[in-house]
Amino acid sequence: MTLRDHTILVTGGSSGIGFALAQGLLARGNRVIVCGRGEEALAHAQATEPALITRVCDVTNAESRRALVEWIAAEHPDLSVVFNNAGVQSRRSFTGDHALDGLEQEVAINFTAPVQLIGELLPLLRRQERAVIVNVTSGLAFAPMADVPVYCATKAALHSFTLSLRHQLRHTAVKVVELAPPIVDTALGGDTRSDGTKSAGMMSPEAFATEALTLLDEGRDEVLIGQAIGTRQHGEALFQRMNGS
């Protein structure tokens, strides 16, 4: 199924990869709902793309998520595609004192919330003739960068969950896709990105979205882009090369 003329939810669609995907999806004639926690970022996204439908939602908050799901069921009952894209990345040193700061939140945003949202949206998705769930993992799901250890573990967990979910839904009309980006120049991880000097070699969110949407249209189960192809192929064999001694 090609991603045209659908009603689509992109979590974390107010900035970065999610916003670039939302723009690409709008250009293909879809109705696109984006959610995020920050009202300002959502307002900015809508000012840039007036056709976007925006909704404040913290996907880790059960009440906020329930409100989103109920609103979609009432206002957009034809929702047929979900991108579980919202994510955060924290550096953690287990040789220091702050290794556990914000741990639950990182796990909740990157792993628990997508699982919960899928569970809550599946009754609606299963009513559609065809539907797609796209889980955004990372090339780091397959070979971790040691300075963002929990981030990589949450992406590995989402990869694993995606395999099982795809298997469980194989006889339904709901397709389950994994989208694994390479390093993309966004605000993810805070201080290492988007400063013009450290972004060399990174893909732009727009270039990423263009390639991702083209490959998604081909109906693949896994859409791997850039470095994610190598980490998927070689997995932990790349660990030393990526992390040094």
Tell me which residues touch ligand NAP (CB under 6 A): 11-12, 14-18, 35-38, 41, 57-60, 85-88, 109, 136, 138, 181, 183-184, 186-188
Q: How far apart are alpha carbons 28 and 46 in whole angstroms?
A: 17
**CB of 166 vs ligand NAP, minimal distance in Å:** 18
Decide whether 112 or 128 has the Cβ nearer to ligand NAP: 112
Of 116 and 128, the one with the shorter C-beta distance to ligand NAP is 116
**Toward ligand NAP, which CB reaches closer, 118 or 184?**
184
Q: Is 151 among the catalytic positions?
A: yes
Give phi and psi for 112, each to the nearest 5: -65, -45
CB nearer to ligand NAP: give 64 or 128: 64
> Catalytic one among 151, 152, 155, 186?
151
Angle at which helices 113-125 and 62-75 cross, to 10°: 20
Supply the minimum distance, in Å, between the C-beta of residue 76 and ligand NAP.
Answer: 18
| Smallest gap from residue 171 Cβ to ligand NAP (A) | 28
| Closest separation in Å from C-beta 167 to ligand NAP | 22
DSSP letter at 109 equals I
Return the number of the residue (52 or 59) whose C-beta is nearest ligand NAP. 59
Nearest-angstrom CA–CA distance, 69 and 64: 9
Least spacing, CB of residue 146 vs ligand NAP, in Å: 16
C-alpha 138/C-alpha 118 separation (Å) is: 19
Q: Is 153 exposed, middle or buried (0-12, 13-18, 19+ CB in 10 A)?
A: middle
Radius of gyration of the chain (CA): 17
CA quadruple 58, 163, 186, 3: dihedral sign: negative
Task: Name the phi and psi angles at 41, rounded to 5.
Answer: -65, -40
The DSSP H or E segment spanning 55 is strand 53-56
- Using DSSP's 3-state secondary structure scheme, residue 176 falls into strand
**Residues identified as active-site:** 151
